[in-house]
Each structure stands twice: as structure tokens, then as C-alpha cells.
Structure 1
Amino acid sequence: MERRLYVLAASAFIASAVLYCAWITGQFTTPAVDRAHGYVGELAARDQPWTRLFRASDVLSGLACLAGVAMVPRIEREWPGWLALAAFGLLTVAGGAFPLDCAALSAPACSLGPVSLSHHVHIVTGVLATAAVLTAMVLLGGRWRTRVAWLVTGLTGLLTVLSVAAVAAGQLAGLAQRLQVTLIAVWLVYVALRLLVRDAPTLVPGPLHVVREGEGPAVLIAAGAAAAWCHWDGVAAELASGHRVIRFDRPGLGLSPASPVPPTLHGEVARLAALAPAHPERVTVIAHAMAAWHAEAFARLHPLRVSALVLVDPSCDTRRGRDGTSFRGAFGGWLPALGGTWGATALARIAGPPLHRLLCGRADTHGLYRKGRVLAATVGEWLARPGMAADLRRIRTEHAFPDVPVTVLCTNVRRGCLKRLAEELNARLVPLPASRFQARLHVADAIADAV
């Protein structure tokens, strides 16, 4: 998948370069714009006949550049250069969205009348876009250290200086700028070629992050979707004085590395079996939300290794007849690779901390939700829900539930599916106060009492 991401990113940069060169056709379709002295941006001026076409080309070119940067697998020391290239794409989009009012250099009368805010914005974004792409050339060229990178960067910088001088002199500004934007397009193609020949990183699964504390009977805690070991600090503190508490992060979540394999119910059962004490010792499993499916399947498939279950706000299976193996399965296979891209990292850093505070009621002190792999793992588990539900239904028909005590703690005991679950597992149904349950601090004693 990592190699395919490189190919997709390279394709996006090539598309951006082609769209960025749409001005070439404008030399024949818009004769009113002076080829030697007029700006390239004048082709998209509001008073020109093909303004919508060239404005759309600019916007699509910028979006393609942004998509290319978003799909590039993350390499730590290259982030300033890719950030500058993303800024270039964003400013190119803004330049297409805010066109000139008229052909400023080709039609001298244009500068005599008042111009709109859009006219000024276009000029500012054009200058900033040039500065951004030059910055990207210098930073990425410095990392790559190739002659081609430095040659294109040097020529683009020289032509930028010549363009400024030509504008000041009022002569040949259009010619200098056309050479300059051509070299920028060449740079985008060169970036694409660099990605195509670069060795794709291989996602190798590493050991899970596991925390063990206390002595006594074993208690294994399985966190809900997107949660980490640290969300159970309060429960672990309550239990550690008389139990051996085992907490862990599933692949991609918390401090555990990502896995190239999408999550499955049987995979999660195998994970619980590997973390639980060996037979004949038994373990009490505390499971929250969707992890309750993992715990129930573990109890049915390994009945001699479970002493009790405590299911906290367990998820309900409401997707009967659907296993989600088509689009969800295909897209889920891409997620581990997507979690290592610049786009996933940027989205996680922007949205992760505020979402964590909103859902958990406290700050993300460990910085876990600023990582793209955590975002990808969260989406992957959500996509895997229908498949896990279908597997759980099959396990229920083939394996009887063992005779072990089960406690279901929930904030809404009147919920029909929870009542049915409690009846099926012969469980004790215990109400909890409604809250942001991920915090889990104020209900730690209730969970400990259930154990």
C-alpha cells in the first residue's frame, strides 16, 4: 500500500503541473492578453472570455498539489519543505478563487479605475505562492541534494528576480513570468519522479504497548474504540492493590505501533488470549464499548481461561445481515499506510486534541491523538464493526457461553439491546450515571466493585 500511495501522490503532482500549464492554450484563445508583457494571471481576469476555464485550472492545480502532499508518506526531517509546498497549493487555489478584475498590464486603462478586493487578493496570493514554492524547492532540494533539484531551484529563483525587475521596468514581465511558471511545473514533475523512484517504507508491526501492575488474581482491561491504556488509570489504581492488572493498546492506538492488517474479531480474540495468563489460571476481563464483543468472543472460544466478564457500556449489534466486506474492507486495507502520511498527521494535529477534550473532558496530556496512525486506527476499527458483528453472530451460534459471572455496567439500563444481551449472558445489569465515559475516573469504584 505504501508504494501505491507514492504512485498516487506522484500522479497528483503531475496533474497539478499539467493544470498549472493551462496558460499555454491561453496564448491562442485570449489574444487580448499581451504575451510578452502581460501577467499569466490576466488570462483568468474577470473581463476575459475564458476566465472560468483558467480560474478552474488554477483551483484544480492547487487542489491536486494539496492532495499530492497529503498522500506523501511522512518523513520527519522533510516536513518544512512539504509544508511549504502545501502552502503553495493552497495559495494557488486562492489565486483562482479571487481573480483579477481586468488585464492589468495588457490594458493600461485597467489600473486607472478602482479595483475590487479580489484583484488585490490575487496579486498578494500570487506573490506568496511564488515565495512558498521557492521555499519548498530550497528545503526539499537541501534534503535530496541532487543536481536537478538545485538547477531547477536556481533557475526559478533567477527568473523570479528577473520577473520583479521586468515589472519594475514595465517591459517583458509576461515573458519572464511565463518562463518562471514553466519551471515551477517542471519542479512539480520532478517531485513526482522523485516519489516514483523512492523506496517505499514497509510497515512492520511491532510489540504492543502493555502495562502490568499489582499482584493477585489477573484482570485484563480492553479499552473501547480509539481509547488508550491511560484512560483506565483510575480503574487500575483501584484494582492494583489486590489484583494483577493488565492494560494494553491495540495496534495503532495509544503507544502501540500500527499494523498493516485491518482489525478483525478473531484477531482481537487472539490478542486477548496472548495477554491473558496461561491455563489453568483464569482472568477477569473488563471491556468497554466494542471491546465487549472481543471479550464475549474470547469467553466463548476460550471458556476455561475466563473467570468473569465486566462489560462497560457494551456496543449493540444493530447491523444484522450485513458484514461490510466490500468497500469497508477495501478501504480499511489502505488505512495503516494512510495513517503515516502528511495529510493524516496534519488532520490529527488539528482535530485530535480538541476532539479528545470534547469527548473525554480533559486534555490529551500524552499527545496520543496528535498522531496520524491513531486517527487511521480509529477509522479502521469503525470500518471493521460490521465484519466483527457478523463474526460474533456466527460464534454465538457455534459456541455456548460458559458458566461465568457477567456484569453489564451501562448508563441506560432501559436500552433494549442491552437488556437482551444481559438475558443472553445471564448477566447482572448495573446502572451508571450518564457522563463522558472515556474519563472513567468517577466510576472507577463501580467497575472495581463489579470485579
Structure 2
Amino acid sequence: MTPHSAGSRFLRIDGLPLHVRREGSGPVCVLSGGLGSSWFDWDLVVPLLTPYRTVVRFDRPGLGLSAPSPHAPTAAGEAERIRRVLDALGLTGPCTVAGHSLAAFHVEAFARLHPERTAGLVLLDGSFEPDPSPLPAPALRDLTARTAAGLATALAVPYLFGPAARRLAARENTVCGEDLAPAALVRRCYRTGRSLRAALRENTGYLDVAAELAELRRHTPLPAAPVTVLAADDGRDDPATHRRLARQRTLAGLLGAEFRTAVPAGHLLMFDRPDSVARAVLDSA
């Protein structure tokens, strides 16, 4: 058994085999990654949490080692997936949910829809759209994303270029300027057509999920639990950095959250500042 297989299992959730990892002991926290991410993107954070927390992380359908889904992603659907993963693990009490980037939508939806299951909410450089509107023809757009992924897979595009594209994205979104994930796992997960299809579908439905969450905010309050927004600050004194931090402060104000920064850190702050990420989770409940 390799270090990355210890603690791993496959759970059938809504008929789909999902790759899930449970590690550590103590109060439960869930770590959910951003668009196109895999479980190993949390590897630097998890050892800082497991002495104090039971850590659950899983690959959304099509990502990492999980099977693809026939359904397009939604905020409510991803919130329900988190609940069902926890139920399948026998973890039915309150937990802290932490979401990076796009997954901030999912964990906030979980907190709103399952307040009795939420001990804390942590948004890690979370996606934020101040006034989103869903785009027309969602089914057609999802079909287009699936078709494009299928054509690319037939031409071996993911196999030839998937890992390189992943490494490039990691370099562009870290201060350290490198992909700290294990190369063998990157090749294993990002050479697949299902990974490309899942990422395209998440990207295609991004504004739809943002609009769904905005509607949820109007009539479903957050529970009385700590909320933290941890923003990535790369330390640059330039307009782009100021705009990104201002958006995160706006998100914190909207949610009545504590605002923190991880410095220096790019968008993949779990690579640049795993200590800041772990501290935000540990302080959340």
C-alpha cells in the first residue's frame, strides 16, 4: 500500500463510485478543492490538521479517481454530495466545511442547506460573483462541454497535454512557481478524458452555480457558526492584487465573516501557505 492509498476508499454515492479519504481523529472537517482539482492538492495541509481533526476529502465526479457523473454540477447537488459522503462515513454530527475557489460555492450551499450539520465555514480564496445571472441554454452548453471533451479525448489531447497544462496552471497560481503535487499522481489523474470533461463542465456551469447560490442567499440564512474568508495575497503592490483582495473583503462583508490573508500566496494557497489554511480551519470551530 502506497502512502497515497492509505485511508482511501471508494464510496457509492448516488450510484457513482467516489474516491474518498478519511484521516486523523477529533472534530470533523471537510476539504473541497477548486475547479479541476484532486485530493492530493491538500497533501501539505492535511498533516497539520490530522493531530486535531478528522479530515475528509473527496474527488468530485470525474476528477481525481472518481467516476464521472451524467448530471451537470449544481450548488445544491454538491452540497448534498458532501452530506452523503459524511453520512456514508458515519460522520453525522456538525463539521467544518472548507472550500477552495469554486468549491466555496458548494460549501456555502452546504452550510445554508444543512445548518444543523455545520460547525464552521471556511472559504479559501473563494469564487465570488457580486450579481451573477445564469446563462441561457444550460443543457446545450453542458452537452457542448461534454462533446468537446469527447473530441479532445479521441485525439489524445488529455493524454498528451493534460499533465503539462496542470503544471502550468499550478505555476501561474502559486508564489512558489511550481506544482507541488506528486508528478506520478498528476499523470495518473490528468491524462484522462473524464478529468477534462469534469473540468469543462464545472467551468461551463460556473455562472449558473453562482446564480443558484445568490438565490439561496436571499432566502436561506447561514447558521450561527463561525465563517472565515482566507484570501491569497501574493504581496504585490499592483492593481490586480488590490482588486482580488477587495473582492474577497466584499465576500467577507456579505457573509459577516472574519477576513484573513495568507501572505505570500497565490490562488493555490494550500501550496504556498498550508499553515495559514490549516490555522483558518482549526480556528473555525
| Aligned residue number for residue 140 of structure 2 | 330
One-letter amino acid of the counterpart of residue 135, structure 2: G
- The 8 Å contact of residues 112 and 220 in structure 2, kept in 1 or not, is answered as yes
What is the rounded CA distance, in whole Å, between the counterparts of 1:425 and 1:439 in structure 2?
21
| Aligned residue number for residue 365 of structure 1 | 184
TM-score scaled by structure 2?
A: 0.79
Higher relative contact order (CA 8 A, sep 6+): 2
One-letter amino acid of the counterpart of residue 324, structure 1: L
Give a deviation string over 1:243-274, Cα, whole Å, max 9, x none. Answer: 11101000010000111111111110110111
Which one has a bigger Cα radius of gyration?
A: 1
2:278 counterpart of 1:448: yes
Q: 1:353 to 1:286 in 2, by over 3 A?
A: same
Q: 1:261 to 1:280 in 2, by over 3 A?
A: closer
What is the rounded CA distance, in whole Å, between the counterparts of 2:183 and 2:32 in structure 1?
20
SS, match of residue 212 in structure 1: strand
One-letter amino acid of the counterpart of residue 37, structure 2: A
- The 8 Å contact of residues 262 and 333 in structure 1, kept in 2 or not, is answered as no
Q: 1:386 to 1:295 in 2, by over 3 A?
A: same
Give a deviation string over 1:105-159, Cα, whole Å, max 9, x none. Answer: xxxxxxxxxxxxxxxxxxxxxxxxxxxxxxxxxxxxxxxxxxxxxxxxxxxxxxx
What is the rounded CA distance, in whole Å, between the counterparts of 1:406 and 1:300 in structure 2?
12
SS, match of residue 253 in structure 2: helix
| Aligned residue number for residue 129 of structure 2 | 317
TM-score scaled by structure 1?
A: 0.51
Give a deviation string over 1:389-412, Cα, whole Å, max 9, x none. Answer: 111111111111111111111124
| Aligned residue number for residue 240 of structure 1 | 50
Give a deviation string over 1:280-329, Cα, whole Å, max 9, x none. Answer: 61101111001111111111111111000111000111553x20241x43
- The 8 Å contact of residues 335 and 380 in structure 1, kept in 2 or not, is answered as yes
| Aligned residue number for residue 295 of structure 1 | 107
| Aligned residue number for residue 383 of structure 1 | 204
What is the rounded CA distance, in whole Å, between the counterparts of 1:329 and 1:319 in structure 2?
22
One-letter amino acid of the counterpart of residue 270, structure 1: E
What is the rounded CA distance, in whole Å, between the counterparts of 1:274 and 1:234 in structure 2?
26
| Aligned residue number for residue 72 of structure 2 | 262
SS, match of residue 60 in structure 2: coil
Q: Tell me how far 1:342 sits from its aligned partner.
A: 6.4
What is the rounded CA distance, in whole Å, between the counterparts of 1:234 and 1:319 in structure 2?
34
Q: Please, what is the CA RMSD of the aligned residues?
A: 2.3
Q: 1:243 to 1:208 in 2, by over 3 A?
A: same
Which structure dedicates a bigger proportion of its chain to strand?
Answer: 2
| Aligned residue number for residue 35 of structure 1 | none
SS, match of residue 274 in structure 1: helix
Q: Tell me how far 1:384 sits from its aligned partner.
A: 0.8
What is the rounded CA distance, in whole Å, between the counterparts of 1:279 and 1:368 in structure 2?
28
- The 8 Å contact of residues 229 and 259 in structure 2, kept in 1 or not, is answered as yes
SS, match of residue 285 in structure 1: strand
Q: Tell me how far 1:211 sits from its aligned partner.
A: 0.6
| Aligned residue number for residue 409 of structure 1 | 230
2:169 counterpart of 1:348: no
Which structure dedicates a bigger proportion of its chain to helix?
Answer: 1
Aligned positions of 1:144-159 closer than 5 A: none
What is the rounded CA distance, in whole Å, between the counterparts of 1:394 and 1:369 in structure 2?
34
User: After TM superposition, which residue ranges in structure 1, 4 or more long, deviate above 6 angstroms?
Assistant: none
SS, match of residue 400 in structure 1: coil
- The 8 Å contact of residues 232 and 267 in structure 2, kept in 1 or not, is answered as no
One-letter amino acid of the counterpart of residue 47, structure 2: A
| Aligned residue number for residue 431 of structure 1 | 261
| Aligned residue number for residue 237 of structure 2 | none
What is the rounded CA distance, in whole Å, between the counterparts of 1:260 and 1:280 in structure 2?
27
- The 8 Å contact of residues 218 and 282 in structure 1, kept in 2 or not, is answered as yes
- The 8 Å contact of residues 262 and 269 in structure 2, kept in 1 or not, is answered as no
Q: Tell me how far 1:420 sits from its aligned partner.
A: 2.1
- The 8 Å contact of residues 336 and 373 in structure 1, kept in 2 or not, is answered as no
Q: 1:258 to 1:335 in 2, by over 3 A?
A: farther
- The 8 Å contact of residues 265 and 273 in structure 2, kept in 1 or not, is answered as no
Structure 1 counterpart of 2:60, from 250, 263, 282: 250
One-letter amino acid of the counterpart of residue 117, structure 2: R
- The 8 Å contact of residues 359 and 438 in structure 1, kept in 2 or not, is answered as no
| Aligned residue number for residue 286 of structure 1 | 98
Name the % identity: 35
SS, match of residue 350 in structure 1: helix
- The 8 Å contact of residues 344 and 373 in structure 1, kept in 2 or not, is answered as no
| Aligned residue number for residue 218 of structure 1 | 28
Runs of 5+ unmatched residues, structure 2: 1-13, 171-177, 234-240
Q: 1:212 to 1:419 in 2, by over 3 A?
A: same
| Aligned residue number for residue 175 of structure 2 | none
| Aligned residue number for residue 273 of structure 1 | 83
Q: 1:406 to 1:345 in 2, by over 3 A?
A: farther
SS, match of residue 44 in structure 2: helix
What is the rounded CA distance, in whole Å, between the counterparts of 1:370 and 1:343 in structure 2?
9
